[in-house]
Amino acid sequence: MSLQLAKNPHHLVLIPGLDGTGMLFEPFVQALPPEIDATIVSFPHDKASYDHDLFAVIRNVIPWNRPLVVLAESSSGPLGMRFASAQRENVQALILVSSFVSNPIVAASNWSTTFLSKPWYEKPPTAVSVRKHLLGKNAPDTMVNKTVNALRTPWPTVLGHRIEMMKKIDAREALKNWDKPVLYIRAENDQFVSKASTEEVCRLNHRVRMVSVPGPHLLLQSNPKGALEVILPFLQSLSGQNPATTEAA
């Protein structure tokens, strides 16, 4: 059976995680059906930025003649939540992938405490650490190398700034007051985002729909098709679509 989709009126805004490059969305975007339009946001790699700077970057690249759905990955969850709240008239829904809305270190007792410490982010990330903690031991070399390159793209001072900001930012009130649909996708083998962070997101807003998808922390890179099996019905529900199924040729 194959799924026939109508042209979806909503435009996906993809906000990248810690690397900020947007290049790691490639597997996910390649898996998107042609009926879904998306914009990849990319943040400056050589400048420590705050909300007003990052919001401006997002606003400058997205279309304003379409209803928007913000998809925020990993550490960009709080930023995506606050941007959606600031653009409430334009953003119709939020998708959080392997993410959180407040300091993940507070809720964690795992390797991420070390991962987000200054000694770590001052050193170049390695293929071994990326495979072990972010992509899984069976990740293809091409994806591992691309992730390493993405994490090495921002200047160390910029990466450090992003990590320190991530520890301080708090989007819990924004999520509490969000009155539109939220899809929260949890990676079943996530070693970074703790169960407590996931539970906090679901507890703060009864609209949150939480779905688990097999894969490690970088879920959109390791299992884009699995993520889309959840995301596409969510987008269709926003449009009130009832897609028909037809026999595959």
Q: How far apart are CA 75 and CA 84, in angstroms?
A: 15
Q: What is the mean pLDDT of residues 48-65?
A: 92
Q: CA gyration radius for the chain?
A: 17
Instruction: Convert the pLDDT of each residue in 162-212 to its tens digit.
Output: 888 888 889 999 999 999 999 999 999 998 888 899 999 999 999 999 999
When divided into structural domains, the chain yields a total of 1
Q: Where are the beta strands (DSSP E) in the chain?
A: 2-3, 11-15, 37-40, 68-73, 91-97, 182-187, 208-213, 245-246
Q: How far apart are CA 77 and CA 96, in angstroms?
A: 6
For residue 70, the model assigns a pLDDT of: 98
Q: At what angle do helices 51-61 and 77-86 cross, to 10 degrees?
A: 70
Where residue 94 sits, what CATH number does that domain have?
3.40.50.1820
Instruction: Convert the pLDDT of each residue in 221-246 to its tens digit.
Output: 999 999 999 999 999 999 775 443 32
The C-alpha angle 100, 105, 109, rounded to 5 degrees, equals: 115
Token code pair at residue 142:
């091409």
How much is the pTM?
0.88
Band of pLDDT at residue 85, cut at 50, 70 and 90: very high
> If you ran DSSP here, which 8-state letter would residue 102 be given?
S
For residue 115, the model assigns a pLDDT of: 55
How distant, in Å, are the alpha carbons of 43, 130, 169, 221 from that of 135? 22, 6, 25, 8
Q: What is the mean pLDDT of residues 8-30?
A: 94
What domain range includes position 140?
2-246
Identify which has the larger pLDDT, 149 or 167.
149
> Percent of the chain scored above 70 by pLDDT?
86
> Percent of the chain scored above 90 by pLDDT?
64
